[in-house]
Amino acid sequence: MIYPLFLTLHLFAALIFIGTVFFEVLFLESIRKQLPARVMLLVEQGIGRRARSLMPWVLLVLFGAGLGMVGLRYLPVLASPLASSFGTLLAIKIAVAVSVLLHFLVAMFLFKSGRMSPRYLQFIHGSLFCHMVVIVLLAKGMFYLTW
C-alpha cells in the first residue's frame, strides 16, 4: 500500500513542479512584452516569493517519494542499470532529476546572495523547461520502450 502512496505523492509534486516551470516559460515570458517593466517586476517578485516558499517542500516530496519508490522496488534494477532498458532509462531520469535539483540550488543561492539577474533567470527557466520535457519522456518511456 505504501508504494501507490509514494507514486501518488510523486505524481502530484511532479504536476506542481512541471506546471510551474511551464507556466513561467510559456505564459510569463510572453506576458513580459505586454506589461510595463515596473508592473512585470512586481509580478515576478510576487511569483518568486511564493515559489521560494513552496518549491522546497514540493521538491522534498518529489525526491523523497522518488527515492522511496526506488528503495521499495527498483534497487536491484539500478544495481546494474545497463542490464535492462528500464534500468538505463530510470538511471538517466534520476541523473536529469539531480541536474534539476542543482538548478534549483543555484537559483536559491543567486536569489539569497542578491546576484540573480533577469538573464540568469531566463536561462534557468529555459534549461529547466528542457529538463522537464526530457524527464516526462523518460518517465513514460521507461515503461514503453524496450531494446
Catalog residues that contact ligand HEM under the rule CB under 6 A: 7, 10-11, 14, 17-18, 62-63, 66-67, 69-70, 74, 90, 94, 97, 100, 135-136, 139
Q: What type of residue sits at position 67?
A: L
Q: How far apart are alpha carbons 84 and 147 in whole angstroms?
A: 8
Long-range contacts of 99-102 (CB under 8 A, 24+ apart): 99/131, 100/128, 100/131, 100/132, 100/135, 101/59, 101/63
C-beta of 3: minimal distance to ligand HEM in Å?
7
> 17 vs 88, which CB is nearer to ligand HEM?
17
C-beta of 32: minimal distance to ligand HEM in Å?
25
> 32 vs 131, which CB is nearer to ligand HEM?
131
